[in-house]
Amino acid sequence: MTVLEGGKISGRQFMSVLVVLRIVPLTLVFSLINSIAHVQDTWITVIIGTVIAIPIAVLITKLSLRFPGKTIIEYSQSLLGPVMGKLLGLLILWCFLCTSIDITRGLGEAYVIAIMPETPILVFMSMLIFISCYAARSGLEVICRLGEDVFYIVVFVLLLTYVLPYTAMRFENLRPILAWGASNLVPPVIANLGYYSQFLIIGMLVPYLNKPEDATRYAVYAVLISGALMVLAAVALVAVFGTTASSWTLPLFSLARMISLGDFFERIEAGVMAAWTVSTGIKLALFLWAASVAVAQLFNLKAFRHLLYPLGTITVAASLFFFESMVELEDYLAKAGAMVSILVAGVTLLLLYAALGIRMAIHRRKGGAG
Amino acid sequence: MRVRRCVRITALLAIIPVVLSMAGCWSRKEIEDIGFVLSIGVDHGAKEDEIMITAHIAKPFAISAGLSGAVDEKPFWQVSSTGRTVFEAWRNLRQQSPRRPLLHHSRFIVFGEEFARDGIHEAMDFFFKESEVRETNVVVVAKGVKASEILWNEFELERMPAEGALGIMKVAAQELSTTVMITLNEFLQMLEAEGHEAVASRAELVRRPPSEDPRGQLKRETISISGRETGAAAFKGDKLVGWLDKTQTRGLQWVKGKVRSGIIVIEQPEEENKLASIELVRADSTVTPGISDGRPSVLIKVRAIGNLGEVQEDFDPMKSQEAWLSMERRMAEVIRHEIEAALNIAKYEFNSDIFGFGAEIQRKYPKEWTKLKDKWDEEFPKLDVEIEVETSLRRSGLTRRSVQTVRKEEG
Amino acid sequence: MALGMLSKALRRLLSRQRTDVAGKGQCASSPDAVLSKRLRENEALIRDAFGNSPDLIVREIRFGVSPGIAVLVVHIDGLVNTALVSEGIIKPIGIISEILESERLPLAQVQDMLKNRLILLSDAKQVSDKAGFLNDIAAGKCGIIVDGSSEAFVCDVRGFEKRGVEEPQSEVVIRGSREGFSETLRVNTSLLRRRIRDPRLWIEEFTVGRVSHTQVAITYIKGIADDKVVQEVRDRITRIDVDSIQESGELEEYIEDEPLSPFPTILRTERPDRVAGALFEGRIAILTDGTPFVLIAPATFLMFLTSPEDYYERFFIASAVRLLRFVSFFIALLLPALYVAVTTFHQEMLPTSLVLAIAAQREGVPFPAVFEALLMEVAFEILREAAVRLPKIYGPAISIVGVLILGEAAVRAGLVSSAMIIVVALTAIASFVTPIFSLSIAVRLLRFPIILLAGTLGLFGVVFGMSGAAIHLSSLRSFGVPFLEPIAPVVLSDLKDALIRLPWWAMDTRPKFTGENDPRRESRGLMPAVPNPQADGTLGAKGKKGPR
């Protein structure tokens, strides 16, 4: 392994960044609730999605543990051979970049829609990218250290956002349950899994864990915690907004606007937005880091840090031109984007496990013969 | 290496002023250049198909001047403008306002009666899409007048009319339960929900006789929303269909379980023409829908707990347990009457399911509801509604018995 | 003139001295570098080296039978204790000369006599190296050269005017020791020795500065401090090659991890109790002669926000005060920026009545809020600097003019809003809460770019600036210890002494990064418990049985 990145991260930090990267889209565009026809069932679909996501996370982690000290980019080359391996690596890299592009645009849109409509979106996006690149340059250790703190902050802010609008909550809005059949449940589960397939990044993080044997445990914790946060989000949203929950562009932002305690503790949504910005920054830093390390490893470069700002610039430009409008972004996130991510994750895992199986079979036969 | 880093950091620091100089015109708005809209009214414009927006804008300088008592200036300014859509009318407002009007701090969205009767649907979307409007705004319908007129009112205890109206509404909703306070969020949910028609707050003008201004400078007509008269506005679809008076409003609130407090006046047991008042402490309700042979029915259970607040004739509960119990029964009777009043007007006059019975049926029987849904207009007036009221009287204030006066009627 | 000559001579000397430093003070063997055997040559050398400065005292005594052996006693006036010189050197030589009037002694015996019997001083050593001898004289030692020998004696008779141990000026506590470090290194090490009476308190001395020859000492507790970190400190100090070090602040800039950072990564303090506390956590103190400020490394961010008093007060109160200090740190950093962001971008965040009140106050203020804030902050910084520099007699006058008249008049004239005055005043007061000045001044500096960002992009700008600062801070290290520890990375066991302070009996381990060698600092179960009344002789039992 070329020593591109010397940092070591702890299991808790690993878990924290995984949770942060799963709940960032929740904080901006909650596409689960936007893609469901009847919102009352959202929380059930979240549970289903979480249950399916656990084996995915475990599979990725277990695979990485078989190749200690190697990232998914490196071991896919050693498993599939240089050509196929590099192709797969490019696919994964493309996935990382797509994710960066989505969330950059998402945060920019959120600011322009909700807080400062007159400011050009490019300003938000480029400043976000700038700060994320700065974090990524400082290395994985810094990202993960801050990621853990941001995790605590975001969980705290989210729980406040769920609990404080209790005056406006009406839990009868959650009924009826499961009245529309299974077809109602499918789109949000797909959207949810689309986000969970971003957990491919585990393959980049596991080699840097100081105790790799804990990786699986913490990956499962991450899925469970993010699942729990999303269930609560779904419940709170539907309780407050009823059937109108699916109409909001930024559901959790609107939920924060409902907070009003005693005519004094209210109007805090901009502060809530600030917490979300920070978490988006962490996620973006992580993906930019992963993408640049992936580039360095694919093309056998000696360093990755100088790749960050060029990659960041590309991300800003792409996020500006990929999507014409917020409508397109949402549509992509909930449908095409999710399907593509699931496909990529599925193909990656399938290919790698198949190759691993074949190798082991050959190895066993050789061993048996010898 | 070190020098290069130095250069880099200086470059970063140089970015900040560059960004600043670019930022001249973006979202920055100095606080003194903003007209804070406190309530906004929607009416028909003078021309056909035009919408008129009336904004009630605060004048901060007049407020602070008012504090020191130097200037007697109205602390607000009312301005109207028209357009084909609400947004256009809203933006046209800027032709008249030297300060940029901003809706962040608005408290009320008021619809004129005429406008509400014709349907508010076309005006609603703006208030949800616009990020300046908070979903905690209260939706009000002005009875008998235009929204622009109802905004012209003043309160003795508050300089800002919006604050005054909000205060009265809160007090009436919490202490009397004879008004509804519907936020934009709730209003939208009711508009969108199946089997649940919308209600909104009701406001009307009460003209008081002109009074001499104490400072003798000018004579003013004090106009005020009267909290006592505030009831509710009932919608069907997006159209206003009628008004609930305060009894009917409390009937509605009983069913919805939103009665917080209030006074129930009953006839005092064992006395002729004497009354007793009961202060409500706590109340809640459950609505249980049922379906038998395809016929929907609803069971409303109301539990109310009150304290005996006053009696007009001698009364000692220690002497007569029976009278105490009969007071509870009478209290239940009054509550039942209020609910029936609300039910009757909703069923037979408006034919509008403002209680949300349909939504309750949908929650419990989603499959049956798909069949009922389309003919709910015919079904709702025929709906069997059973009312169960359970009341209990807990305390009787600081005294056990009532005030006893020695009367010498016979001389 | 004399100074110029002195420095010229020294420079000539020190061009040789440099190789000397590299060779760690070993004697150079070239004949040029050792003292001459002839006394006159040596005298000329000394007088020449010091440019014949008037404070250089060269006294010749004859030893033994007339004409006797000439002995030269050299020292610098004002740096030595003259009583000690006459009592410990000149007097014994004189007495022995009288006694030995008749004998003629060989040179070797004279030297032996001088060394073992005559010089009645605790610290005397023999040197032959020319430059070393001169440096010792310059440092205030007394040199004795015997005619015919190239070996000289150097004795420590240093005694000069020094400030006593006084109460520290910059870190005031209500409860706790009143003594502070002074300018003299030896006094400072003695203060530490008196607090840690154990041979494991190790002190190593270095001489830094080609010309100034400043004494620098590193101290640590052997067995607790990490040897690798000690070696790192040693390495960083020995690589310094400058002509002078006047204050520990200069030293700090040569040895810190991240030179291009507004934040200090080495703690400086005037308080011996604070240094002793840090030593027990496995940290290393660097004492510099000539300044009362002692450096502590490795330092973490939170150490800058703690005061020694936190450890002496009851822990509930100490924790509350520490949280308060944390809050005021953020107020000092962010309040003006948040005010600007909220009033010019996010008016929706304020309650209606407040927003109208602020709008009314800003009515007629000619500047945008950002500019207003910057103006007031700069004005305040000027006032603060003036107040620090002015003679103490003028202090009250400045505060009256600055605070009362200027502020009041500015509001009256409509130049600034009174809300802004409140914000700036609160910020100023909050910035004085930070116990360590070097951090509070960094915060003052950072405030300005954050105000600019807030005036440009509102809360997004503030978040941007704060994120940048957070990334920078968490990438900092101080001698291998993450600077933001235990917040980033989160170290659960160190949170006991971070934002809050647990009681002493619960803080049973040293910080994770510095105290790994000897993690436990106390035995378990020290939480005081109410004594069992059945047991004899305990306080609880006595209290109950007392009356009988």
The secondary structure of chain B in percent helix, strand, coil, rounded to multiples of 5, reads 40, 30, 35
Q: Which residues of A touch C348 (CB under 8 A)?
A: 267, 270
Mean pLDDT across B198-221:
64
Task: Say whether pLDDT at C465 is over 70.
Answer: yes
Domain boundary among C269, C299, C329: C299
pLDDT value, residue B131: 83
The residue in chain C having the minimum alpha-carbon distance to the alpha carbon of residue B162 is: C352
Percentage of chain A exceeding pLDDT 90: 28
Q: What are chain C's partners, defined as 3 or more CB pairs within 8 angstroms?
A: A, B
Pair (C189, C278) in one structural domain: yes
Answer yes or no: is C176 within a domain: no
Tell me the three-class secondary structure of A87-103, residue by residue: HHHHHHHHHHHHHHHHH
Residue the block writes with tokens 């109007």 = A267
Answer yes or no: is C489 within a domain: no
**Cβ B20–C357 below 8 Å, yes or no?**
no
Domains assigned to chain B: 30-244 (no CATH), 248-411 (3.30.300.210)
Answer yes or no: is A235 within a domain: yes
**Cβ B16–C453 below 8 Å, yes or no?**
yes
Pair (C279, C319) in one structural domain: no
Task: Say whether pLDDT at C122 is over 80.
Answer: no
Task: List, in order, residues 6 or more apart from A352 with CB less than 8 Å away.
Answer: A63, A72, A75, A76, A79, A80, A88
Which residues numbered 7-46 in B keep a CB inside 8 Å of some CB on C?
Answer: 9, 13, 16-17, 19-20, 23, 27-32, 34, 36, 38
Provide the pairing of β-strand C142-146 with C152-155: antiparallel
Which tens digit of pLDDT belongs to each residue from C27-75? 444 556 788 888 888 888 888 888 888 888 888 887 766 667 788 888 8
Task: Say whether pLDDT at C470 is over 50.
Answer: yes
Residue A287 belongs to domain with CATH number: 1.20.1740.10
Which tens digit of pLDDT belongs to each residue from A300-333? 888 888 888 899 999 999 988 888 887 787 777 7
Task: List, in order, residues 6 or more apart from A316 with CB less than 8 Å away.
Answer: A104, A122, A125, A126, A129
Q: Which residues of A touch C460 (CB under 8 A)?
A: 111, 115-116, 124, 127, 274, 277
Residue the block writes with tokens 């930019």 = A288
pLDDT value, residue C547: 44
Task: Say whether pLDDT at C202 is over 90.
Answer: yes
Range of lowest pLDDT (A135-144, A176-185, B25-34, B61-70) = B61-70
Task: Say whether pLDDT at C129 is over 80.
Answer: yes
SS3 A167: helix
**Cβ C368–B31 below 8 Å, yes or no?**
no
Nearest to residue B101, comparing CAs of B186, B14, B29, B175? B29
Give the residue from B30, B57, B77, B99 with the most C CB atoms within 10 Å of its CB, the best one to mutate. Answer: B30
Mean pLDDT over the full length of chain C: 83
Using CB atoms, pick whichever of C457, C460, C488 lies closest to residue A146.
C488
Higher-pLDDT residue of A30, C286 = C286
Using CB atoms, pick whichever of B9, B19, B31 lies closest to residue C347.
B31
Percentage of chain A exceeding pLDDT 70: 95
pLDDT value, residue C335: 94
Pair (C35, C99) in one structural domain: yes
Count of all residues that appear for chain B in the document: 411
pLDDT value, residue C45: 87
Task: Say whether pLDDT at C91 is over 90.
Answer: no
Q: How far apart are CA C431 and CA A262, in angstroms?
A: 32
Higher-pLDDT residue of C223, A26 = C223
Q: What are chain B's partners, defined as 3 or more CB pairs within 8 angstroms?
A: A, C
Q: How far apart are CA C541 and CA B119, in angstroms?
A: 85
Task: Say whether pLDDT at C261 is over 50.
Answer: yes
Task: Give A175's pLDDT tier (boundaries 50, 70, 90).
Answer: confident
Pair (C221, C110) in one structural domain: no
Task: Say whether pLDDT at C533 is over 80.
Answer: no
Answer yes or no: is A3 within a domain: no
Dihedral pair phi/psi, residue B223, rounded to 5°: -120, 140
Nearest CA distance, C80 vs chain B (angstrom): 44
pLDDT value, residue B9: 66
**Cβ B63–C453 below 8 Å, yes or no?**
no
Pair (C30, C138) in one structural domain: yes
Task: Say whether pLDDT at B247 is over 90.
Answer: no
**Cβ C343–B19 below 8 Å, yes or no?**
no
Q: Which residues of A touch B356 (CB under 8 A)?
A: none
Pair (C352, C412) in one structural domain: yes
Range of lowest pLDDT (B87-91, B224-228, C214-218, C491-495) = B224-228
**How many separate domains does chain C show?**
3
Using CB atoms, pick whichever of C345, C361, C449 lies closest to residue B28.
C345
Which tens digit of pLDDT belongs to each residue from B370-384? 888 888 888 888 888
Q: How far apart are CA B285 and CA B258, in angstroms?
A: 8
Nearest CA distance, A57 vs chain B (angstrom): 37
Q: How far apart are CA B62 and CA C356, in angstroms?
A: 10
Answer yes or no: is C73 within a domain: yes
Which tens digit of pLDDT belongs to each residue from A56-75? 999 999 999 988 888 888 88
Percentage of chain B exceeding pLDDT 70: 84
Q: How far apart are CA B324 and CA B208, in angstroms?
A: 42
Dihedral pair phi/psi, residue A303, rounded to 5°: -140, 155
Mean pLDDT across B117-141:
88
Task: Say whether pLDDT at B221 is over 50.
Answer: no
Answer yes or no: is C7 within a domain: yes
- Greatest mean pLDDT among A256-265, C22-31, C347-356: C347-356
pLDDT value, residue B72: 59
pLDDT value, residue B160: 75
Which domain covers residue C73, as residue numbers?
Answer: 2-155
Mean pLDDT over the full length of chain B: 81
Task: Say whether pLDDT at C286 is over 90.
Answer: yes
The residue in chain C having the minimum alpha-carbon distance to the alpha carbon of residue B159 is: C353
pLDDT value, residue C25: 40
Mean pLDDT across B244-271:
87
Q: Which residues of C332-345 are buried (b: 16+ CB within 10 A; e: fewer)?
A: bbbbbbbbbbbbbb
**How many separate domains does chain A show?**
1
Nearest CA distance, A198 vs chain C (angstrom): 24
Answer yes or no: is C161 within a domain: no
Task: Say whether pLDDT at C13 is over 60.
Answer: no
Which tens digit of pLDDT belongs to each residue from B209-218? 555 555 544 4
Task: Say whether pLDDT at C409 is over 90.
Answer: no
- Greatest mean pLDDT among A14-28, B389-403, C479-493: C479-493
Using CB atoms, pick whichever of A116, A118, A254 lies closest to residue B135.
A254
Q: How far apart are CA C220 and CA C226, in angstroms?
A: 9
Q: Does residue A109 contact residue A121 with C-beta atoms inside 8 Å?
A: yes
Answer yes or no: is A134 within a domain: yes
Task: Say whether pLDDT at A157 is over 80.
Answer: yes
Which tens digit of pLDDT belongs to each residue from C302-358? 999 998 888 998 999 999 999 999 999 999 999 999 999 999 988 888 888 888 888
Q: Does residue B78 contact residue B56 with C-beta atoms inside 8 Å?
A: yes
Pair (C424, C367) in one structural domain: yes
Which tens digit of pLDDT belongs to each residue from A201-248? 998 999 999 888 889 999 999 999 999 998 998 899 889 988 888 888
Question: What tokens appear for C82 in the block?
Answer: 């003259």
Using CB atoms, pick whichever of B23, B34, B134 lies closest to residue C359.
B34
pLDDT value, residue B47: 83
Which tens digit of pLDDT belongs to each residue from A37-47? 788 888 888 89
Pair (C93, C199) in one structural domain: no
Pair (C84, C117) in one structural domain: yes
Q: How far apart are CA B397 and CA B385, in angstroms?
A: 36
Q: Does residue A148 contact residue A16 with C-beta atoms inside 8 Å?
A: yes
Domain boundary among C482, C497, C519: C482
Answer yes or no: is C466 within a domain: yes
Using CB atoms, pick whichever of C346, C351, C471 lies closest to residue A146.
C471
pLDDT value, residue A135: 92
Domain boundary among C133, C155, C177: C155
Answer yes or no: is C415 within a domain: yes
Task: Say whether pLDDT at B411 is over 90.
Answer: no
Pair (C9, C129) in one structural domain: yes
Which tens digit of pLDDT belongs to each residue from C64-73? 666 677 888 8
Percentage of chain C exceeding pLDDT 70: 88
Task: Say whether pLDDT at C437 is over 50.
Answer: yes
Percentage of chain C exceeding pLDDT 90: 28
Q: Which residues of B touch C356 (CB under 8 A)?
A: 36, 58, 60, 63
pLDDT value, residue C188: 92
Pair (C132, C190) in one structural domain: no
Q: Does residue A284 contact residue A129 with C-beta atoms inside 8 Å?
A: yes
Q: Which residues of C touch A268 (CB under 8 A)?
A: 349
Using CB atoms, pick whichever of A13, A124, A271 lies closest to residue C489.
A13
Count of all residues that appear for chain A in the document: 370
Answer yes or no: is A94 within a domain: yes
Which domain covers residue A149, as residue numbers?
Answer: 11-369
pLDDT value, residue B227: 41
Which tens digit of pLDDT belongs to each residue from A117-149? 888 888 889 889 999 999 998 889 999 999 999
**Cβ B64–C361 below 8 Å, yes or no?**
yes
**Cβ B25–A118 below 8 Å, yes or no?**
yes
Q: Which residues of C touch B58 (CB under 8 A)?
A: 356
Using CB atoms, pick whichever of B2, B16, B104 lies closest to residue C348.
B104
Q: Which residues of A touch C467 (CB under 8 A)?
A: 131, 135, 278, 281
Answer yes or no: is C211 within a domain: yes
**Cβ B60–C453 below 8 Å, yes or no?**
no
pLDDT value, residue C546: 43
Task: Give C496's pLDDT tier (boundaries 50, 70, 90).
Answer: confident
Pair (C24, C100) in one structural domain: yes
